[in-house]
Amino acid sequence: MKACRLKILNIWVDAVDRGTAIDIVQDMLTHGDKPHVIFASNPEKNFSVPGRPEILRCYRNADLLLPDGIGMVLAARLIHGRFLERIPGADFFLELCHLAATTSQSIYIYGATEKVNRKAARKLTEQIPGLDIAGRSNGYLPDCDMPALVEKINQSRATVLFLSLGSPKQELWYAQYREHLTHVRVCQGIGGTLDTIAGDVKRAPDVWRKLNLEWFYRLIREPKRIRRQRVLPIFAFKVFLEAMRNHRYSRFDVERT
């Protein structure tokens, strides 16, 4: 079961809603015989991913690219005429935890500081009855410990692996070690999600999320994010140009016929 993949400027996004995305993951868990990876697709990635060939390759070959940012949703509408549902990676992480709990799948959590990792794991088990956290490790292990970490993940027999390492570290980790994961069937890169689960970072209130202004709320609370988000106007301008170009080509084709 695969989603329709759309090209948005320099990267891609899958045309899925939450229900379809969950069905795809369920199919991975039921019929998969190798690790399948899920990444978030957002405007910032349009500028950070293409400059690194190994990251771009990882994105191109990803099994599911979530429309994480409202910018990608609007871009898909303008460029392709497709109406997507925004699926924040943090929300999808919780949905996968619920799916794991109800289908007797175990999870492994790798990333964040030891304090955040431990606190988030405890809160998840409190909030999601039946969730089996087969193992966890903080994200500050030296490279020499990676073989031992992979072995620990394999010995846990967890079928769902969450990488909370931030980008591009989590993409690079997956690209390097995916072939060594023997039981993992679904792997999601979740960035700083564990910080919000642990309560160290506050997510935007529901009203901000419903208005698709979570990015603005985070910018207000963390002004230093402006360095990352200054690419947003450039993204919007390039999407507008691409949409106009497609519109001109479409009109030309119609006039020729």
Given a contact cutoff of 8 angstroms between Cβ atoms, the answer to whether 13 and 21 are in contact is: no
Residue 18 has pLDDT above 90, yes or no: yes
3-class DSSP assignment, residue 110? strand
Residue 125 has a pLDDT of: 96
The type of residue at 168 is: P
Nearest to 65 by CA among 240, 193, 189, 246: 189
Q: How far apart are CA 25 and CA 29, in angstroms?
A: 6
Query: In this predicted model, what pLDDT tens digit does every residue of 39-67 receive, in sequence order?
Result: 999 999 998 898 889 999 999 999 999 99
Q: What pTM value is reported for the model?
A: 0.89
Nearest to 190 by CA among 107, 79, 73, 255: 107
Mean pLDDT of 153-175: 96
Residue 254 has pLDDT above 50, yes or no: no
Burial state string for 212-229 with b = 16 or more CB within 10 A and e = fewer than 16: eebbebbbeeeeeeeeeb
The per-residue pLDDT of the chain, averaged, comes to: 90
Residue 252 has pLDDT above 80, yes or no: no
Q: How far apart are CA 150 and CA 133, in angstroms?
A: 16
Q: How far apart are CA 132 and CA 128, in angstroms?
A: 9
Query: In this predicted model, what pLDDT tens digit does every residue of 198-243 receive, in sequence order?
Result: 988 776 677 777 767 776 666 667 676 666 667 788 998 999 999 9
Nearest to 165 by CA among 130, 205, 192, 125: 192
